[in-house]
Structure 1
Amino acid sequence: MSGEMDLRLESLSKYIVTTPSWVKSFAIILLLSGCVEIMVILGKGGDVEDVSLFPVLAYLLPAVIALALTPRLMRVFKGKLTYEWSGLTALLGLVISLFISLSPILLISWSFPLFFAISLAFVFAFRMLLLAAVVDFRLSRVIVPALLHSGIATAGSAPYLGVHFLLLCSLLHISFAVGVLLFIIVIERPMKANFHVGPLELANAFLAHLSEGSRKLDDYFRSIGERVVVPQVSLFFERNGKDGIVVTIPNVHPGPLGEIGGSNMPKILHGLLGRNSMVFHGSATHDFNPVDEVEVKKLHGAVMQGLPASVSNDTCTGPGRYRCGSVEVLAQAFGDTILLVATRSPEVTEDLDFSIGLAIMKSGLRFYDNVGFVDAHNCMSSLEPGVSPATDLAMEYIGASEVALAATAEKEQQRFSAGYAERHLPFTRQQGFGDLGVQVLAICSAGQTTAYVLFDGNNMQTGVRDELRKRLLEHVGECEILTTDTHVVNTVSGKNQVGLAVPLDEFYPYVKETVLAALADASPARSGGATAWCRDIVIFGSQRISQIASTVNGMMGFMLPVAVVILLFAFLTTAMAYMVLTY
């Protein structure tokens, strides 16, 4: 992930809520309501025979009914709400009601009816906002389900608190409903002005994606996307009597997260290219996220249309490492095609802006027809900014690559063998491992073996790459560890790198086994390289993720003062209406 975009996405993660089981919410509702009943009994001198039904009718029953019926009521209005969300909403509504209605009693004994009415209006407003964000941004479809909790509480407590309470409660509900509508109109203006979609609508699409795999979010990103042309270098190997091997380097980014957009691009391309195919990580940031799988298929189509005229080259150079500053490049040429694999390990190795990779590729055309630049993406411990153009770090990448290009062009090429192996690992996405597991390309030339070890994951914990390479050098002459940067391992946060959740010692045996299998599979090979120009690829667009995150964070900054103003307006209009109707 590009670090700046990572930080932007990370800043949005605090707005995402993980819902507990509805059983837990129900148990807490029972506990809190029981505590209120005990307080009432103690207030009456501890007579357990004098049990009041008011706490049941005002607190317990409304919360339980809201938990049970809100999902069904939402379905009537063509919405979907899980019982987990319903339980959390009912529990939070109960907490709001208890806090606002009971806290003032400690200071003002006669205040309960007033503050209980206010608490129910707050519950109603809270449920409107939450259901609008979680289920449907159209208030007309959530206002009735939102009224369920406070409506039942009002009806249950009216016989105890009288007609004036019922009137006050009704007026507060109307004022708060208008206030919520005004609040939503105000806070949605920045995003609608910039991106033609409101934050509640975007939240609906995101949660629908998480819960049911909806593609509404992809449709939105397509509507604001930009069309680009990007080069994609591929290297094809053929072997007598064995399956061929394909290595391809897209210069678009497999993000932003989960299954959204092109987040699972490595697996999708691997499936389209067929067995024994490896998808390396090129030079691209979140600006270059494909908006959906359709764009990933365009990459495959361009590669197939730009196949090399022949796969007849049977020589390659030995591997070489070249350094400039903190950047190290592993270079190996196959006829007229060269692979450059860049890393900064043990320093953070993050996404590079597309222009940096393009500059390197163009510079290499002096020596080779096809220049495949690969970001190994193999070292991180914390989210840091990526590599921007015209920075010292960008110049280090360009400098190391230019040294590697010139030096490799002087090397003699000899006949080579190529082997491939892959292994699906017994770990999950939540543990940092994507669906492709680990793949290994082994190149043997002039008595030296080189292993390109590719993990389907988003970066690698600091130190893991170096230790893993050290261990593998006992079996091969040279190797590099890479990740695909797949974002299926990330829900919101970019921090789920290989080696973070699962220690190296646990997955090293599988890696070693795969490397040895690739070496055993090696046989004389021929290669052919090609550079496909992938046109009309719809990506997120320049700074889109940054702009969305900045807008949302800025919007959060003025939500509180806007809410306070609207709240005062609601109380003032309620007081005026109440006075007009009662005096």
Structure 2
Amino acid sequence: MVGRSRLFSVKMLPYYRLVRAVAFPSTLRIIILLFTFTVVGPALAFAFLSMNINTALYGGLFGLTIFFLPSILADLFSAYILLRYDSLFYLRRCLALSLFSCILWILILSIGGLLKNYLTNIIFPEQPFYFALFTVVPIRALAILSMSSKGIFNKILYIFLQPVVSTLLSTLFLTPRTPLFIILIPVTVTSLLPTILLLKLIESRGKCSIGVSPLQIFRAFLVDWLNGDNEMFERYLEGMGIDDKVNLTTLQFRSKGSGQLKGLLIVGNFHPGPFLNVGSSALPYMIKNSLEKDGGLVVAVPHGVSGHEHNLVSKSQNEKVLSTIKNLLRVTNYYDKASAFRRFTVGSAKVGAQIFGDSIMLTLTQSPNDMEDIPSSLGEEVHRLARMKFKHAAIVDSHNCINNVKDYTDKEIEDLRMASIQAIETLSHIDTSPFEMGVAKNGFWGYGPEHGCGPGGISAFVFKVSNKLSAYVILDGNNMISGLREKILSSLKNIGIDDGEIMTTDTHVVNGLVPARLGYHPIGEALDQDIFLRIVSNTVKEAKENLERVEVSSATETVEVKSLGSKSLEQLTDFMYSVSKLVARYIVAILFTSNLIGAFLLS
């Protein structure tokens, strides 16, 4: 059975891919494409009838006059008059919609030209040209009525402006058998009436299901996804959010000699999602960036055990977490002893464990098997068991191996649980020793979020306890491609590191940027792994070179926040899923009906 966090990942994948597949080129490129399609397309459509240069030139002139010029003029008027200040429909996107409309129109025109060679009763180009209106206008109506925030009068004018101007100018070349008003009136009715009814149905269902206007959420979502402005979308998430608690544990390491703060490990059970700049997606980097004021300090925020139900809903909730962390850092009770890194394996589960002062840190993984978010319930149980033996506990979901999104089996969860219990019980009876630590940080050397690499880069913590070296490498990304963890650990052995763990922050700033298989690139999927291995090795070497005696102080606190919550998350994803199916069925019905009417009128 798919868990709620998995449910979000699985159901969001089609939307990640769809939105990013519909990419908008630059304005100049759209105009060039519009000119090319509207001139070359009709030239070819006319040439299908008679393969000679004069017919093709006539078709090109037809396209230039009927498609290209009306599109440019109508879009300039729409962008600067009808839809002025609309957050989604500025000139580039108006031109993009015209490009799509014209491509569809010319495709139907071309099919008509081809069929004319086999069906002599087709009147070309009149019938296919006017018949295309019954497809083009309903699609424009659905796009504009659902996405534009302008008044209904402005939206209706924009829907029909370019198609009507093109239709009227067509009389310079065509002699329609059916009067234009007999064509345009049914086009108007079949485009507007069903679309308005569909949107009202969606609004009604949405308010019952999720308590707010789904169309307004949809527009806010697009404003953020396409414009990078998350304010409106986060306002709606605030309204949908529920009261939640985030557990935070900090481990701060300072030089025993100088007393200078050297490294911070911060683990919380918030989830860095849902995507891009929304909610807590960038929170690991925000924490790191806020605290790394001193050039020598390295801060890392590995992924705590949490799922999408613990996505914080807004920037203001992130500020609460950051404020709590800063308060925790004022709590200082330093210890100068730690245990050596130990690994415990049960089935597919591997749990790294280490004591730092009065706290225990556990790193959970099942690499090289696929792993996504470890269930929050398991994290809470392990945290509770660890706190029975230690004053503080930092439980990390290493989040470091994925090929496909999957849910955990009962056996995999039990393996993680048993390995964690073994680690807690074993370490509660071992001795600790004075320890050294070295830290370093690095960027991804030219790789960015579109490659799966977040702005927080690479953080390396190297520990030396009883002459054994271990390394924690924290990568700012959402998971890692299968096998990369093992390659990194193997490469670190070559520089004297005995063991350790490779973790990611699970940042979702990388999600939804590219039309990738998973909706994002796990680290290692879209970069040169050999180069990446060298970067990581060099970073760990640098950390190893500044090893020195340190002491550690840990603190734990709970902060009250608003998160998306499992119920709101499930309602939102279920509603989006049902609406997408409803819209797909409705579009088919609208286009079938309108085309049937068009065929009847033009026959």
Structure 1 and Structure 2 fold alike (TM over 0.5): yes
Per the alignment, residue 554 of structure 1 pairs with: 578
Aligned residues: 574
Secondary structure (helix, strand or coil) at the match of 1:526 reads strand
In 2: Cα distance, 1:488 partner to 1:218 partner? 15
Change (3 A) 1:377 1:565: closer
Identity of aligned residues (%): 22
Match of 2:400 in 1: 378
8 Å Cα contact 2:461-2:473 kept in structure 1: yes
Q: Secondary structure at the match of 1:365?
A: helix
Secondary structure (helix, strand or coil) at the match of 1:76 reads coil
Deviates more, 1:286-295 or 1:61-70: 61-70
Say whether 1:171 aligns with 2:189.
no
Distance across 1 between alignment mates of 2:50 and 2:79: 38
Given the alignment, which residue of 324, 333, 336 partners 1:311? 333
The answer on 1:490 being equivalent to 2:511 is yes
- Aligned-partner Cα distance in 2 for 1:75–1:357: 50
Aligned residue runs from structure 1 range 219-258, under 5 A:
219-239=235-255, 240-241=257-258, 242-258=260-276
Instruction: Return the alpha-carbon distance in structure 2 between the equivalents of residues 47 and 511 of structure 1.
Output: 62
Contact 1:117 1:165 survives alignment (8 Å) = no
Q: How many Å apart are 1:269 and its aligned residue?
A: 1.1
Q: Hey, what does 2:206 align to over in structure 1?
A: 191
The 5 Å alignment of 1:426-465 reads 426=445, 427-465=447-485
- AA aligned to 1:182 is L
Alpha-carbon distance in 2 for matches of 1:464, 1:295: 34
Distance 2:282 2:51 in 1: 65
Instruction: Report how far residue 182 of structure 1 moved.
Output: 1.7
CA distance in 1, matches of 2:406, 2:175: 58
Q: Distance in 1 between matches of 2:507 and 2:51?
A: 64
Query: Is the CA contact 1:383–1:495 (under 8 Å) kept in the aligned structure 2?
Result: no
- For residues 459 and 384 of structure 1, the distance between their equivalents in structure 2, rounded to whole angstroms, comes to 13
Distance 1:283-1:246 versus aligned 2 partners, 3 A rule: same
Show the counterpart of 2:15.
Answer: 12
Q: Which amino acid aligns with 1:30?
A: T
2:324 touches 2:557 (CA, 8 Å); kept in 1?
Answer: yes
The 3 A distance-change label for structure 1 pair 321 and 568 is closer
Aligned partner of residue 502 in structure 2, secondary structure: strand
Q: What is the identity, as a one-letter code, of the residue corresponding to 2:236? A: Y
Cα deviation, residue 566, structure 1: 4.7
How far off is 1:67 after superposition? 5.0
- Which position in structure 2 is the counterpart of 1:581? none
In angstroms, what is the RMSD of aligned CA positions?
3.1
* Residue 101 (structure 2) pairs with residue 93 (structure 1): yes
Amino acid at match of 1:203: F
CA distance in 1, matches of 2:48, 2:509: 54
Change in CA separation of 1:370 and 1:147 when aligned onto 2, cut-off 3 Å: same
CA contact (8 A) 2:353 2:363 kept: yes
Mapped contact 1:117–1:172 kept (Cα < 8 A): no
Label 1:352 to 1:111 Cα distance change in 2 as closer, same or farther (>3 A). Answer: same
Distance 1:182-1:195 versus aligned 2 partners, 3 A rule? same
2:536 aligns with one of 502, 511, 518: 511
Q: For 1:324-473, what aligned pairs fall within 5 Å after superposition?
A: 324-385=346-407, 387=408, 391-426=410-445, 427-473=447-493
User: TM-score by structure 2 length?
Assistant: 0.86
User: C-alpha distance in 2, partners of 1:41/1:459?
Assistant: 53
Structure 1 counterpart of 2:554, one-letter code = G
Structure 2 distance, partners of 1:421, 1:35, is 58
8 Å CA contact retained: 2:279, 2:318: no
1:259 matched to 2:264? The reply is no
The residue type equivalent to 1:399 in the other structure is M
Query: Deviation per CA, 1:365-388, whole angstroms, max 9, x where unpaired?
Result: 221011111111111122222x48
Q: CA deviation at 1:559?
A: 2.9
Once the two structures are TM-superposed, the CA of residue 295 in structure 1 deviates from its matched residue by: 1.3
Which residue in 1 is equivalent to 2:144?
131
Partner amino acid for 2:235? Answer: D
Aligned in 2, Cα 1:29/1:544: closer, same or farther, shift over 3 Å? farther
Instruction: Give 1:38 deviation, angstroms.
Output: 6.1
Could you tell me how far 1:567 is from its partner in structure 2? Answer: 5.5
Measured after TM superposition, the shift of residue 551 of structure 1 is 2.3
Partner AA of 2:497 in structure 1: V
Counterpart residue number, 1:201: 216
Q: Secondary structure at the match of 1:186?
A: helix
The amino acid across from 2:582 in the alignment is F
| Structure 1 position 538 matched with structure 2 position 555 | no
Of 197-206 and 440-449, deviating more is 197-206
2:138–2:591 contact (8 Å) kept in structure 1? no
Which residue of structure 1 aligns with residue 160 of structure 2? 147
- Check the 8 A contact 1:29/1:63 in 2, yes or no: no
User: Partner letter of residue 177 of structure 1?
Assistant: L
Quick one: distance in 2 between partners of 1:42 and 1:459? 52
Q: Indicate the SS of the match to 1:416.
A: strand
Residue 260 of structure 1 aligns to a residue in which SS?
Answer: coil
1:530 is displaced (CA, Å) by 1.4
Larger deviation, residues 555-564 vs 314-323: 555-564
Report if the CA contact (8 A) 1:311-1:526 is conserved.
no
> How far apart in 1 are the matches of 2:443 and 2:567?
35
**Which residue identity lines up with residue 362 of structure 1 in the other structure?**
R
Q: Is 1:526 matched with 2:551? A: yes
| Shift, 1:209, TM fit | 1.2
Give SS of 1:420's match: strand
CA distance in 2, matches of 1:395, 1:182: 50
Please give the per-residue CA displacement for 1:136-173, whole angstroms capped at 9, x wherever unaligned. 37644422222221121122124643695221133124
Q: 1:277 — aligned with what?
A: 299
- The answer to whether the 8 A contact 1:383-1:494 is kept is no
Of 497, 510, 529, which residue of structure 2 is paired with 1:476?
A: 497
Name the CA distance, whole Å, in 2 between partners of 1:547 and 1:245. 41
- What amino acid maps onto 2:261 in structure 1? D
Distance in 2 between residues matched to 1:89 and 1:245, nearest whole Å: 51
Unaligned runs of 5+ in 1: 579-583
Of 63, 73, 81, 1:65 maps to: 73
Q: C-alpha displacement at 1:465, in angstroms?
A: 0.4
Greater Cα offset, 251-260 or 474-483: 474-483
